[in-house]
Amino acid sequence: MHFEVVKIVNSTHNLQFIFSNELIVETDDADLFSPYKSYDIQISRNIPIDETIKLYAKTTNNISSHVGVVIKKTTNSLHICSGNTQWIFSNNICSFKPGMDVWISVEKL
Protein backbone atom coordinates (compact mmCIF):
# COMPACT_ATOMS: atom_id res chain seq x y z
CA MET A 1 0.00 0.00 0.00
CA HIS A 2 1.29 3.48 -0.82
CA PHE A 3 1.96 5.91 2.01
CA GLU A 4 3.34 9.45 1.97
CA VAL A 5 5.03 11.19 4.90
CA VAL A 6 2.96 14.31 5.55
CA LYS A 7 4.28 15.40 8.94
CA ILE A 8 7.20 14.77 11.29
CA VAL A 9 6.80 15.48 15.00
CA ASN A 10 10.00 15.70 17.06
CA SER A 11 9.88 15.12 20.81
CA THR A 12 12.65 14.76 23.36
CA HIS A 13 12.57 10.95 23.20
CA ASN A 14 11.64 10.04 19.63
CA LEU A 15 10.36 11.08 16.22
CA GLN A 16 6.85 10.52 15.00
CA PHE A 17 6.36 10.09 11.25
CA ILE A 18 2.73 10.71 10.27
CA PHE A 19 1.61 9.27 6.94
CA SER A 20 -1.32 10.14 4.70
CA ASN A 21 -3.11 6.76 4.96
CA GLU A 22 -3.67 6.34 8.70
CA LEU A 23 -0.18 5.18 9.67
CA ILE A 24 2.04 6.56 12.43
CA VAL A 25 5.61 5.39 13.03
CA GLU A 26 7.35 6.28 16.30
CA THR A 27 11.11 5.77 16.31
CA ASP A 28 14.45 7.16 17.44
CA ASP A 29 15.93 6.61 13.94
CA ALA A 30 15.73 9.92 12.07
CA ASP A 31 16.95 8.30 8.83
CA LEU A 32 14.10 5.80 8.60
CA PHE A 33 11.91 8.04 6.38
CA SER A 34 12.32 11.28 4.41
CA PRO A 35 9.78 14.10 4.58
CA TYR A 36 7.17 14.29 1.80
CA LYS A 37 8.39 11.09 0.13
CA SER A 38 6.21 8.16 -0.96
CA TYR A 39 6.71 4.62 0.28
CA ASP A 40 5.23 1.25 -0.59
CA ILE A 41 4.72 -0.50 2.76
CA GLN A 42 3.66 -4.14 2.80
CA ILE A 43 2.80 -6.06 5.94
CA SER A 44 2.54 -9.84 6.04
CA ARG A 45 2.46 -12.74 8.48
CA ASN A 46 4.74 -14.82 6.27
CA ILE A 47 8.44 -14.04 6.29
CA PRO A 48 9.93 -14.92 2.88
CA ILE A 49 12.88 -17.31 3.22
CA ASP A 50 15.09 -15.30 0.86
CA GLU A 51 14.40 -12.19 2.93
CA THR A 52 15.58 -13.75 6.19
CA ILE A 53 19.14 -13.58 4.89
CA LYS A 54 18.73 -9.84 4.30
CA LEU A 55 17.06 -9.33 7.67
CA TYR A 56 20.11 -7.89 9.36
CA ALA A 57 20.97 -5.61 6.43
CA LYS A 58 19.31 -2.28 7.20
CA THR A 59 18.69 -1.15 3.63
CA THR A 60 19.13 -2.79 0.24
CA ASN A 61 18.22 -0.91 -2.98
CA ASN A 62 15.77 1.48 -1.28
CA ILE A 63 14.10 -1.45 0.47
CA SER A 64 14.22 -2.00 4.21
CA SER A 65 12.73 -4.95 6.06
CA HIS A 66 11.53 -5.16 9.63
CA VAL A 67 10.33 -8.07 11.74
CA GLY A 68 7.87 -7.06 14.41
CA VAL A 69 5.36 -8.35 16.92
CA VAL A 70 1.78 -7.17 17.28
CA ILE A 71 1.74 -5.85 20.83
CA LYS A 72 -1.69 -4.26 21.08
CA LYS A 73 -4.98 -4.06 19.21
CA THR A 74 -7.40 -1.27 20.04
CA THR A 75 -10.77 -0.33 18.59
CA ASN A 76 -9.18 1.81 15.87
CA SER A 77 -5.55 0.75 15.61
CA LEU A 78 -2.99 -2.03 15.61
CA HIS A 79 0.38 -1.49 17.35
CA ILE A 80 3.43 -3.37 16.06
CA CYS A 81 6.81 -3.19 17.79
CA SER A 82 10.02 -3.73 15.82
CA GLY A 83 13.09 -2.98 17.92
CA ASN A 84 12.94 0.69 18.96
CA THR A 85 10.29 1.43 16.34
CA GLN A 86 6.56 1.26 16.90
CA TRP A 87 4.20 1.09 13.91
CA ILE A 88 0.60 2.15 14.47
CA PHE A 89 -1.67 1.00 11.63
CA SER A 90 -5.37 1.65 11.28
CA ASN A 91 -7.56 -1.45 11.59
CA ASN A 92 -8.77 -0.63 8.06
CA ILE A 93 -5.28 -1.42 6.71
CA CYS A 94 -4.52 -4.70 8.47
CA SER A 95 -6.01 -6.97 11.08
CA PHE A 96 -3.75 -9.22 13.14
CA LYS A 97 -4.00 -10.57 16.67
CA PRO A 98 -1.64 -9.58 19.52
CA GLY A 99 1.39 -11.85 19.77
CA MET A 100 1.67 -12.53 16.02
CA ASP A 101 5.01 -12.07 14.28
CA VAL A 102 4.79 -9.88 11.19
CA TRP A 103 7.09 -8.86 8.35
CA ILE A 104 7.10 -5.19 7.27
CA SER A 105 8.72 -4.34 3.95
CA VAL A 106 9.29 -0.67 3.09
CA GLU A 107 10.24 0.45 -0.42
CA LYS A 108 11.05 4.07 -1.18
CA LEU A 109 9.31 5.13 -4.39
Contact 102, 80 (CB under 8 A): yes
pLDDT mean by block of 10 residues, the chain; 109 residues = 91 89 89 89 75 54 83 92 92 87 88
Domain, as residue range, for 30: 2-108
Alpha-carbon gap, residue 11 to 90, rounded angstroms: 22
The CATH number linked to 34 is 2.40.50.140
Largest CA-CA distance found in the chain, in angstroms, rounded: 38
What are the E-state strand segments in 20-100?
23-27, 38-44, 63-73, 77-82, 85-90
Give the global pTM. Answer: 0.82
Domain count, the chain: 1
